[in-house]
Amino acid sequence: MTSAEQVVLNASDQAAVNGTHYIEEVVRVPLMRDLDGINLWVLDPAALDLAPESDYDGPQNRECRCGQPEECAVVVNEMAEESLPDAEELMHILATALGFTAIKNELIDSAGVAPALTAALRLQMSGPTDGD
Ligand SMILES: [Zn+2]
């Protein structure tokens, strides 16, 4: 089969091909209109502090094609014991799926300026020091 003939499988079919179970969950992410009055969806800051909420009543296996309902139920129960991703974990899940790498920028201070740049600006504003 050439690459042009390859069939794209949905996730539940892919799980069946892999001999695994397709267990799904949906997480709510609270969004809000931008506080500057722009018609733009942004993350509600409350999302950073809240425990993630399931949009289902726990993990589901309705789409699983394993044909092994008892084993599948065990895996559903195991996934129910796993905590849902928090905001940071969800960011990494999305970044990975979209082909990005998320790196925390700890070089930015509260004013959004890198400390090295701040130091350079202070030096420039104070002028060169006298050598004598
Ligand atoms: Zn299954």
Per-residue confidence of the chain (132 residues) as pLDDT tens digits?
455 556 778 999 999 999 999 999 999 888 999 999 999 999 898 888 777 888 898 999 999 999 999 999 999 999 999 999 988 898 899 999 999 998 888 765 555 555 555 555 555 555 454 444
CA of 57 to the centre of ligand 1 (A): 18
pTM over 0.85, yes/no: no
CA of 87 to the centre of ligand 1 (A): 28
- The CA radius of gyration of the chain, in Å to the nearest whole number, is 24
Residue closest to 102 by CA, chosen among 85, 119, 115: 85
CA of 92 to the centre of ligand 1 (A): 26
CA of 52 to the centre of ligand 1 (A): 25
Return the DSSP state at 47.
Answer: G
Cα 4 to chain centroid distance, Å, stands at: 31
CA of 96 to the centre of ligand 1 (A): 25
CA of 23 to the centre of ligand 1 (A): 7
Q: Which SS3 state, helix, strand or coil, does residue 128 take?
A: coil
